């Protein structure tokens, strides 16, 4: 089970009275694990605003219900080309997502250090996607709190590799059949919508959050190579380390 850090000394904003559509909420505080976890639990996440530490709460919010992930025919053909693992190369995935050469990159060294700390405490997880030559083809990382997976970033160097990571993550989260689980992707894009991401209002997100957080976490040991999960995810080849 994840290790709960000491409570944050900061009082983060209450979103209940925030005007509809306002997404940038506050600046300041810090990136300590306890502060980041308090933010997620309150419907917030940290992301820079210029040179400032900003706190955001999108309205509407992009969410993916793991059991509703959409696997297109072309993606279904791509999945068997890769092998997938859980938490086998967290540092490498975060480093790839933080590559300063990426367009719209925002993950600075301070954020990297915070996610590495959350990973060491058992809260942050990565999905790695490998090509048949053993190279890291793509992946994603985020933070699991109960039934919430707060997805922070993903990357790919091979076509469809980041999509395969989303399908694999969804398969793991949907395996127990609990319909409360969600993957929070922050904002819906057309790319994410093709995978099943939908928009919900901030108020709907906040109303659902207590039940979502009440689910037991499920990400832990690396799945075995013979693990079979439902739907298009049954095509996933889990890597044997």
Q: Please answer whether residues 137 and 129 qualify as being in contact, where contact means their C-beta atoms are separated by less than 8 angstroms.
A: yes
Q: Which residues contact 213 (CB under 8 A, 6 or more apart)?
A: 41, 145, 146, 147, 148
- Residue 142, CB half-sphere, CA atoms under 13 Å: how many? 28
Residue 156, H or E segment: strand 148-156
Both tokens assigned to 180: 């409360």
Cβ contact 45:129 at 8 Å: no
- For the whole model, what pTM was predicted? 0.94
Neighbours of 158 (CB within 10 A): 17
Domains annotated for the chain, with CATH where assigned, are: 62-238 (3.40.630.70)
Mean pLDDT over 8-24 rounds to 93
Q: pLDDT digits over 115-171, tens only?
A: 999 999 999 999 999 999 999 999 999 999 999 999 999 999 999 999 999 999 999
Q: What token pair was written down for 74?
A: 């072309």
Within 13 Å, how many C-alpha atoms sit on residue 229's CB side? Answer: 21
Q: Which of 56, 13, 15, 10 is CA-nearest to residue 34?
A: 10
pLDDT digits (tens, 9 = 90+) for 171-211: 999 999 999 999 999 999 999 999 999 999 999 999 999 99
């Amino acid at each position: 089970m994840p290790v709960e850090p000491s409570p944050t000394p900061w009082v983060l904003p209450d979103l209940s009275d925030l005007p509809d559509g306002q997404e940038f909420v506050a600046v300041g505080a810090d990136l300590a694990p306890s502060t980041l976890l308090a933010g997620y639990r309150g419907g917030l996440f940290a992301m820079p605003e210029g040179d400032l530490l900003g706190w955001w709460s999108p309205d509407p919010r992009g969410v993916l219900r793991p059991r509703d992930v959409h696997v297109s025919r072309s993606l279904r053909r791509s999945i068997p080309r890769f092998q997938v693992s859980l938490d086998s190369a967290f540092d490498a995935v975060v480093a790839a997502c933080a590559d300063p050469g990426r367009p719209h990159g925002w993950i600075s060294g301070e954020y990297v250090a915070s996610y590495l700390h959350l990973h060491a405490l058992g809260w942050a997880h990565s999905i790695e996607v490998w090509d048949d030559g053993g190279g890291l083809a793509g992946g994603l990382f985020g933070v699991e709190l109960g039934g919430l997976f707060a997805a922070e970033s993903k990357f790919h160097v091979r076509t469809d590799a980041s999509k395969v990571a989303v399908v694999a993550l969804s398969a793991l989260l949907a395996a127990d059949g609990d319909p409360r689980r969600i993957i929070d992707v922050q904002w819906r894009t057309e790319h994410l919508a093709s995978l099943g991401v939908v928009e919900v209002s901030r108020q709907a997100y906040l109303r659902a959050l207590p039940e979502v957080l009440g689910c037991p976490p499920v990400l832990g040991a690396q799945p075995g190579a013979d693990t079979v999960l439902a739907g298009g995810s049954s095509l996933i080849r889990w890597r044997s380390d």
